[in-house]
Amino acid sequence: MRFTRTLVAILFLGAFLFGSYPLRWICVLLTGIMLFVMLLGSYEGKAVRVPAGRVRRRDDFKRLTDIVRRARPSKGTVARKLIEDRIAEIYANLGRSHEDIRENPPEALRVLRSYDDFLAGLEKALELVGADLNEG
């Protein structure tokens, strides 16, 4: 397998590097024939196997806790927006339209935006969302 890859690479480079026009065409034709045999013939390449230890799987809870951790008052504007979007998505699943949520935000979003301490506001907003979920 390594020999055929090396041979194809040499023929491909030879098609560009050789000065003689007929020699270039011979390299192009041989490269094409070898690629045709490799692609449509009985040649089967091996798939790269990623070891199981290198793949990290994270659940939604871990992702959300990372977003909340990044939502500190000093630098968390994007994380705050992501959390607000998640809360708006909950209300959209309850049947409110996106335009209605944007024009007339629910009490939970207003509370979340009004608190200076983001984590305290998030805690109060989640209590309101829980109450709305129990009603709906």
pLDDT top residue among 5 and 30:
30
pLDDT top residue among 74 and 68:
68
| Band (90; pLDDT cuts 50, 70, 90) | confident
Q: Is 26 helix (H, G, I), strand (E, B) or coil?
A: helix
User: What's residue 55's pLDDT?
Assistant: 52
Is residue 108 within 8 Å of 128, Cβ to Cβ? yes
Confidence check: pLDDT of 80 > 70: yes
The region of weakest confidence among 26-35, 69-78, 93-102 is: 69-78
| Band (132; pLDDT cuts 50, 70, 90) | confident
User: What's residue 56's pLDDT?
Assistant: 59
Confidence check: pLDDT of 102 > 80: yes
1, exposed or middle or buried, with CB in 10 Å at 0-12, 13-18, 19+? exposed
DSSP for 90-121?
Answer: HHHHTT--HHHHHHS--HHHHHHHH-SSHHHH
User: What's residue 76's pLDDT?
Assistant: 65
Q: In the chain, what are the domain boundaries?
A: 2-40, 85-122+130-136
Which residue is it, tokens 């129990």?
134
Neighbouring C-beta atoms of residue 84, cutoff 10 Å: 17
Q: Per-residue pLDDT tens for 53-67?
A: 655 566 666 777 777
Confidence check: pLDDT of 12 > 60: yes
